[in-house]
């Protein structure tokens, strides 16, 4: 039986073995044997991901530009902030500068960090960096090959209501909208 009153130093698990299982285009999977703090062994399946970044583009009238696209994991179309995988040698800020242009057609005069989140830390290492983009200029979009999406414009206050009601379901999008709303006092 476990405990619900552990000190932090009693929570760590020691990885004893790590077996490579799969390497794909976006992530790889390993199976780990770990020793729990009480000495017992357990198995952990871990998705290793290079990380991602997302951005909430906000214009001078507090309108936001999100994308709708099909997501295989959810098996439906979701409303999301523009986002992408951080490429080798690319910083999170460079990633969102690239993604905002590709997916919405905008460039930003100012891009501010809103921190980062781990969306599913129980089994995935993906760290998602959150950004706010302002000072928008439209230059035209160019989605990646095989990427099909629709850009939609929403008043910021409507997005907050959509998060509160559960209409927006994507974790990075909800976190980005709430953090940006505090930054902008919306």
pLDDT at 145: 81
Q: Name the token pair of 26.
A: 């976006």
pTM of structure: 0.90
pLDDT at 139: 95
pLDDT at 10: 81
The tens place of each residue's pLDDT in the chain, 186 residues long, gives 677 788 888 888 999 999 999 999 888 999 999 999 889 999 999 999 999 999 999 999 999 999 999 999 999 999 999 999 999 999 999 999 999 999 999 999 999 999 999 989 999 999 999 999 999 999 988 877 888 999 999 999 999 999 999 999 999 999 999 999 999 999
- CATH fold, domain 52-184, is Nucleoside Triphosphate Pyrophosphohydrolase (3.90.79)
pLDDT at 62: 98
Delimit the CATH 3.90.79.10 region(s) of the chain: 52-184
Return the H-helix or E-strand segment holding 154.
strand 150-155
Residue 92 CB partners (closer than 8 Å, separation 6+): 51, 53, 86, 113, 116, 129, 131
- How far lies 124's CA from each of 45, 68, 84, 117, in Å? 9, 24, 16, 12
pLDDT at 4: 77
pLDDT at 141: 81
Residues 49 and 58 sit within 8 Å (Cβ to Cβ):
no
């Amino acid at each position: 039986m476990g405990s619900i009153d552990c000190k932090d130093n009693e929570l760590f698990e020691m990885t004893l073995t790590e077996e490579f299982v799969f390497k794909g285009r976006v992530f790889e999977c390993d199976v780990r044997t770990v020793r729990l703090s009480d000495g017992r062994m357990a198995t952990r399946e871990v998705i290793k991901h290079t990380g991602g970044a997302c951005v909430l583009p906000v214009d001078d009238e507090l309108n936001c530009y999100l994308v709708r696209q099909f997501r295989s994991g959810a098996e439906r179309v979701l409303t999301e902030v523009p986002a992408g995988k951080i490429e080798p040698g690319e910083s999170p800020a460079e990633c969102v500068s690239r993604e905002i242009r590709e997916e919405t057609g905008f460039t930003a005069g100012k891009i501010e960090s809103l921190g980062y989140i781990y969306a599913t830390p129980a089994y995935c290492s993906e760290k998602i960096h959150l950004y706010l983009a302002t000072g928008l200029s439209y230059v035209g979009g160019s989605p990646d090959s095989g990427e099909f999406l629709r850009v939609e414009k929403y008043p910021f206050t409507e997005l907050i209501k959509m998060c509160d009601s559960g209409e927006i379901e994507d974790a990075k999008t909800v976190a980005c909208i709430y953090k940006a709303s505090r930054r902008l006092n919306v």
